[in-house]
Structure 1
């Protein structure tokens, strides 16, 4: 403890009131998040109100209203709870929950007009107007949607940003693959680690551009065509987790409790919002291989056939005829067919 402070951290001199001695921050070994809570409490640049970032269960980040609310006053899809530093959907039966800030941000034109949220959104709008009138807050230009509000932690990146593929997920990287920097706080320098996270584990492959949801997906001409993405399919779960935590080999999760100097910069790829980063030409350093050599030691198993229903993702590894439908879709089709036959037979009886 420095000489100007008592053992409990209180200052010996009244002139140092409000200050505290420098302390080393450590993460508890049971904490699954590597971000420090003090760095996660920020103000929204669109409305000026406070929000607190949490690491999501799916490797993303979400800003929450810093105060928990009664679950009964919040729609089910907007209820979140936090466990070991990780944000999870639902209220966990506790009766209170966190709510995402973008759902209440007064700078966003919300599509969900739930009456249960109208009063809370009005309160947030009055707070925003008071900050503008009394504190001189100057908001940024209105966001295009709730996604822009949620991604305020993303630092501006100049130049190319590559797209990473893992299983069926697509992520937008914070830069080119060979330049993604580790976000850990280096103990030797007290600054952000300067190592890169890539160890040339992946390969470039051509993947289909996903169709954007809604009517916008029906209007674009490039949907269904292909683009180039850096595939990490051969990585084990812990190795992929290191990529998503944006950590180098020295600061890999689990073996080092170093906190984040800045938050990880990954975002889920959106074909409409990230169209400028779609890579349509084959990269110059793309390897002439189909898969990593490590896949030769992995049993890939039998080929999987997906359900013929367009919006169903069920599948089977058994041999099935062309146009096969899963049991759930088949039951739905039978029910609809039975209802249709009853309706047709009823019309015929009426005509007689």
Structure 2
């Protein structure tokens, strides 16, 4: 005896076949952001723990701890709540609240409240596990002496100028990664600086934020200038997308771009007064000729 699948939509005993309805997530074409609400998770660059990005009333996005905490354990001035995808710096009257990750980050020296010390220690233990497993590399301390001069040749966080605004990048120019979401539900691994696209130029400019702020006295800094590129290319860089995903506007973003508005007073340690080079000492100890990008 051979059984055949029923085409009537019912099982052999007459019970209906429940077929789950698949609904694809799509990005609103008229929306100001391609970031899906389910994809705003990321990891802290300082401790490696999971965080969530949310828009709020300020110009910058806020990083929140991914879990809710009992409001009784959190001081009143540290409580946040999320409503309709927007974070608000106050409690909503419920017994649960959210908290900024900066108050719990074990890599920061600012001590957390006594009620949050246990959670802060748990995050520190998780950071140590990530380091031991090799999945997270903490930011190295600033080198000294000859190593410091070698680091000047390749800034870890360069200042990039595009669309007449200066930003502080989170990684070297060659390592700025695309933020788009691939079909495999992971972040795109292609860099924004593609081989077949025109690159920017390193230029010495006055140490200003390019937004009307006065320059520091007798201070210049190395800036990766993208102002000579086309308007579309500068938009692609600001969106932090590789060329294939820039040509696919329906592809969502997995995380927010890593650009941080540059402030010469707050980001003083990231100001370099010489142009970066790729010179390296040769086998005989002599320094090879510098090649500027």
What TM-score, normalized by structure 1, do the two folds share?
0.43
Rg comparison, structure with higher value: 1
What TM-score, normalized by structure 2, do the two folds share?
0.50
